């Protein structure tokens, strides 16, 4: 994060959660498909904050989460708190939501990542290997 207020874009002023996402490494689920209405992408920062955006329409904005907020969200998601009613899902989507089938989800880099972000992702992959 930048400490100098004049360097920040207008949406960052007064927003203690805001982080510069210029070269953030955005990840999306391998289950995301181009024909989905929205594609959720997540970026993680060194201080544990997370950013979330729609990978199909990133210009719509970014939500920022503190580490505690992110943990609460993940726990709620695991408990089904945010499940979509099945009548709004395709059979495939409903089966995935129920945890059925042999579908394994993984985090993959967003195709919208900057070259710098992709280089950072590759560096992280090598460091973790």
CA 62, CA 53: separation in Å to the nearest integer? 5
Residues 55-97: tens digit of each pLDDT: 998 989 899 999 999 999 999 988 999 999 999 988 888 888 8
**DSSP symbols for 2-58:** ---GGGS-GGGTT-TT----TT--EEEETT--TTSS--EEEEE-TTS-EEEEETT-G
The edge-to-edge listing of strands for the beta sheet with 50-54 is 62-65, 50-54, 40-44, 26-29, 107-109
| pTM score | 0.79
* Higher pLDDT pick, 11 / 72: 72
Query: What integer best gives the mean pLDDT of the chain?
Result: 87
pLDDT at 1 over 70: no
pLDDT at 4 over 80: no
Percent of the chain whose predicted confidence (pLDDT) is above 70: 95
Domain edges within the chain: 5-128
């Amino acid at each position: 994060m930048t400490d100098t207020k004049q360097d920040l874009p207008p949406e960052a002023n007064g927003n203690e959660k805001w982080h510069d996402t210029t070269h953030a490494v955005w990840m999306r689920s391998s289950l995301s498909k181009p024909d989905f209405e929205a594609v959720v992408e997540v970026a993680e920062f060194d201080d544990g904050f997370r950013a979330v955006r729609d990978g199909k329409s990133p210009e719509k904005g970014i939500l920022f989460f503190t580490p505690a907020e992110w943990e609460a969200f993940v726990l709620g998601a695991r408990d089904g708190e945010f499940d979509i009613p099945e009548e709004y899902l395709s059979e495939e989507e409903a089966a995935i939501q129920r945890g059925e089938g042999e579908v394994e989800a993984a985090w993959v880099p967003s195709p919208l990542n900057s070259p710098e972000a992709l280089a950072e992702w590759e560096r992280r992959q090598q460091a973790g290997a």
